[in-house]
Amino acid sequence: MIYDTLDALARYDHLFELTEPVFETIRPEPFDGIFAAHSLWATVFLVREGEVLLCSTHARQPGTLVRDINGFVSLESSGITSTVRVDSRHFVFFSPYEPYALVAKREALVARLLVEVR
């Protein structure tokens, strides 16, 4: 996971390139204990309005996970190992197979971008 300010985003050009973000409204829901990850692409989260928590847990061996038709994997929580608060001044990057869960206490506008790791 990379957690940094948007001002520092250019430092990561060697890792990934962002596409135009499409923001969607995220509403508060209780954490259900399920983490997601993408098997081929890294995932970058941006927030335009509000704030969200992004939680991570221990990664598992890719061979033990089942991909859905879109390349996503889901895994039940083995306990949250890290949490970051993301607002309009920050971003978070998760590598392929790195599990995350998004939690919003209030409504927020969030973009989840799948990016190719260079």
The CA distance from 114 to 40, in Å, is: 9
Quick one: which H or E segment has residue 93? strand 90-94
- Domains of the chain, start order: 2-115 (2.60.120.10)
pLDDT bracket for residue 63 (50, 70, 90)? low
pLDDT at 76: 79
Tell whether the model's pLDDT for residue 75 goes beyond 90.
no
The CA distance from 99 to 94, in Å, is: 8
Tell whether the model's pLDDT for residue 62 goes beyond 70.
no
The CA distance from 53 to 75, in Å, is: 18
